Amino acid sequence: MDPDDGSESIPPAEPAERTGIEASRKPWRLWLALIVGVALALPTSWVLAMLAMLPRLLGLFFFLVAGLLIGAVMYRIGLPAAPVPRARLYVAGLAVALVLWLAGLMVEYQALPRLAFGAVRGTMKFSIGPERKEHIQNTLRSHIEARLDKDYPPGGLIGYVRWVATNGRMRVPRVIDNTTILFELSQRRGWWIVRAGLSLVFLAGTILSQVSALGPPRRVETGEEDEETS
């Protein structure tokens, strides 16, 4: 059509995907959901670390519950961003699960001197004051850190994981005298490896089961087109 003939040009049609719902999307809400998920993971990791050592792997139940709750919160916050590419959802869900899992391991590692003190305290038949208790705990912490640095380098959290996965036993001083006792975790070696692995799988699976609903709808192949063309 000649632009000089005075007729009005017809604007191109909007793409089908630019509907009212699409225009109202808020992609930034996915980032908010990720931030809130990480913020919830940090305090939750402390609770899970305390429950993870329950006998017969009963603590794994709480990893399922925590993952479902955090995933549900992330879904509600991220709903205005839907539909979100599934790759982004997987990255966000796995990131929160990994933060929660690693934070839980760090809490376990930080609690090691306290557990050792409980074992030492069980061998004492007399009460101790707060100052002496603090001295014993500090001595045990220094001893444990030194042993992990020496026997399971590079020590720290990695050294703790190596120790508990291969041995989980350590002789620690009673401090009040020159004797030592054998301190060991309730879960060690194979049991700890199984629990740690399953806890990560449960966290990732439950969180992703919630946030995956923010993805685009899946196409269902009905086969009707094939019947019509045949």
Could you please report the per-residue DSSP string of 113-145?
HHHHHHHHHTT-SS---HHHHHHHHHHHHHHHH
Give backbone dihedrals phi and psi of 180, rounded to 5 degrees, phi first: -130, 165
**Collapsing DSSP states into helix, strand and coil, what is residue 168?**
coil
- Average the pLDDT over 120-129 and give the result: 88
Point out which residues pair with 172 in neighbouring strands: 181
Q: Which two tokens stand for residue 128?
A: 């101790």
> Residue 190: which region, alpha, beta or left (left: phi > 0; alpha: psi -120 to 50)?
alpha
Q: At what angle do helices 28-51 and 190-211 cross, to 10 degrees?
A: 150
Determine the Cα–Cα distance for residues 114 and 133; give it in Å rounded to an integer: 11
**pLDDT value at residue 224:** 52
- Give 171-193 pLDDT, tens digit per residue: 999 998 899 999 999 888 889 99
Element (H, E) at 181: strand 180-184
E-strand ranges in 42-167 read none
Give the tens place of pLDDT for each residue, 10-35: 554 444 444 545 556 788 999 999 99
User: For position 187, what pLDDT does the model report?
Assistant: 86
Domain boundaries, the chain: 26-216
Out of 50-59, 120-129, 215-224, which region has the weakest mean confidence (pLDDT)?
Answer: 215-224
Please determine, for residue 82, whether its predicted confidence score (pLDDT) is greater than 70: yes
Res 153 pLDDT > 70: yes
Q: Report how far residue 54's alpha carbon sits from residue 175's, in angstroms, rounded to the nearest whole number.
A: 28
101 contacts 199 by C-beta, under 8 angstroms: yes
